[in-house]
């Protein structure tokens, strides 16, 4: 059997770590887009822009939690991968919101620079919550 780097080894579900990483980013990205699309029907532009940091934060949290939960915390450089997940969840969201015609508002670069740390920190927090949950489940199984 071939020896793979730790990030490329299959995780418990049989998929590679990179596949799970991309999957967790897509969960956060599509969650953000759907939440913002839903909010545009019921809120004004200012209301949606006020909701935007909360949507980015929640879905960044979801991205980090999904990554750690899917891989069952079996990867090295956890903070780097989680921060990258938050970053790559927020970057496409910025372009989707600014380029798609069904969003009637525009996110400025200055706002994006402020929202990016929110996504990264919330992704790290989601990973931390998931690792604590996994640790608690393992302790429960033992005892």
Q: Are 11 and 17 in contact (CB under 8 A)?
A: yes
C-alpha span between 142 and 136 (Å, rounded): 10
C-alpha span between 55 and 12 (Å, rounded): 30
C-alpha span between 104 and 98 (Å, rounded): 9
- Look at residue 60 in the predicted model and tell me its pLDDT: 92
State the pTM of this model: 0.81
- Look at residue 59 in the predicted model and tell me its pLDDT: 93
Tens digit of each residue's pLDDT (9 = 90 or more) over 9-29: 555 556 777 888 888 899 899
Tens digit of each residue's pLDDT (9 = 90 or more) over 95-126: 888 888 877 777 888 888 999 999 999 999 99
Reduced to 3 states, what is the DSSP secondary structure of residue 13? coil
Q: Which residue has the tokens 């839903």?
A: 38
- Look at residue 3 in the predicted model and tell me its pLDDT: 55
Q: What percent of the chain has pLDDT over 70?
A: 89
């Amino acid at each position: 059997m071939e020896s793979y780097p730790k990030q490329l080894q299959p995780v418990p579900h049989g998929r590679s770590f990179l596949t799970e990483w991309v999957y967790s980013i897509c969960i956060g990205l599509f969650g953000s887009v759907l939440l913002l699309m839903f909010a545009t029907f019921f809120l004004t532009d200012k209301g949606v822009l006020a909701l935007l940091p909360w949507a980015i934060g929640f879905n960044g949290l979801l991205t980090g939690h999904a990554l750690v939960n899917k891989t069952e915390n079996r990867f090295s450089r956890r903070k780097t991968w989680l921060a990258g997940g938050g970053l790559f969840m927020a970057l496409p969201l910025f372009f989707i919101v600014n380029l798609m015609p069904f969003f009637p508002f525009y996110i400025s670069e200055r706002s994006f620079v402020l929202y990016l740390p929110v996504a990264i920190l919330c992704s790290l927090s989601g990973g931390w919550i998931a690792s604590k949950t996994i640790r608690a489940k393992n302790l429960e199984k033992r005892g």
